[in-house]
């Protein structure tokens, strides 16, 4: 198994290369397809971002070493590694291509959206570290903490959707 740092660097390199290829191969005919797959990736990413901290709420109240705790570890790891992280990478790659093609870089609403996406990515990193802590039986956070954390992706998602659909400024 590779270290988290190697995986993170590899993910960033893959994301950058894929974004570069999409930018170079840009076409107006691709735009609606890329947008559709971006929305699908965002939905998958948000599903993981909303469910993972909810799993932590229940896992935090489970005795270390119990069969239930071990089951949560498997569920959390698979959710993060099979759905949430790949979906985030795809959402970023396609999102970069979309903004490159649309020319929204200078729009104030886009800056607000991008700020929220960066914050959401930071929360993703926090949840990734928490998944590792739970896997290694090192979680020190309460179920209440995870209930509060569970609301952050929801709030960010609401702001992002409003920025993209309404474009209030």
For residue 141, the tally of other CB atoms under 10 A from its CB is 15
User: Average of pLDDT values for 66-75?
Assistant: 98
Q: Residue for token digits 């490159």?
A: 100
pTM: 0.85
Q: Of all helices (H) and strands (E), which one includes residue 143?
A: helix 143-149
User: Average of pLDDT values for 116-142?
Assistant: 99
Tell me what percent of the residues of the chain surpass a pLDDT of 90.
81
Q: Do residues 95 and 38 touch, judged by C-beta distance below 8 A?
A: yes
Confidence of residue 7 (pLDDT cuts 50, 70, 90): confident
User: Average of pLDDT values for 135-144?
Assistant: 98
- In a domain, residue 21? The reply is no
Q: Do residues 120 and 95 touch, judged by C-beta distance below 8 A?
A: no
- In a domain, residue 146? The reply is yes
User: Average of pLDDT values for 65-81?
Assistant: 98
Ligand-binding annotation for 113, yes or no, is yes
User: Average of pLDDT values for 26-52?
Assistant: 93
User: Average of pLDDT values for 56-75?
Assistant: 98
11-22: burial string, b at 16+ Cβ within 10 Å, e else:
eeeebeebbeeb
- In a domain, residue 36? The reply is yes
pLDDT of residue 38: 98
In total, how many domains does the chain have? 1
- In a domain, residue 24? The reply is no
Domain with 72 in it: 30-166
For residue 134, the tally of other CB atoms under 10 A from its CB is 22
Higher confidence at residue 9 or residue 113? Answer: 113
- In a domain, residue 66? The reply is yes
- In a domain, residue 12? The reply is no
Q: With a cut of 70, say whether residue 1 has pLDDT above it.
A: no
């Amino acid at each position: 198994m590779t270290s988290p740092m190697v995986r993170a660097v590899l993910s960033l390199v893959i994301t950058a290369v894929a974004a570069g290829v999409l930018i170079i191969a840009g076409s107006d005919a691709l735009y609606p397809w890329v947008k559709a797959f971006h929305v699908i990736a965002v939905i998958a990413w948000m599903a993981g971002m909303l469910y993972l901290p909810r799993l932590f709420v229940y896992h935090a109240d489970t005795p270390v070493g119990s069969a239930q705790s071990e089951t949560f570890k498997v569920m959390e790891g698979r959710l993060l590694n099979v759905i949430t992280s790949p979906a985030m990478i795809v959402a970023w790659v396609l999102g970069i291509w979309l903004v490159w093609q649309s020319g929204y870089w200078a729009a104030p609403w886009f800056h607000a959206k991008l700020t929220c996406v960066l914050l959401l990515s930071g929360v993703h990193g926090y949840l990734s570290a928490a998944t590792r802590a739970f896997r290694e039986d090192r979680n020190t956070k309460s179920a209440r903490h995870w209930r509060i954390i569970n609301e952050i992706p929801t709030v960010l998602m609401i702001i992002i959707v409003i920025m993209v659909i309404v474009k209030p400024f």
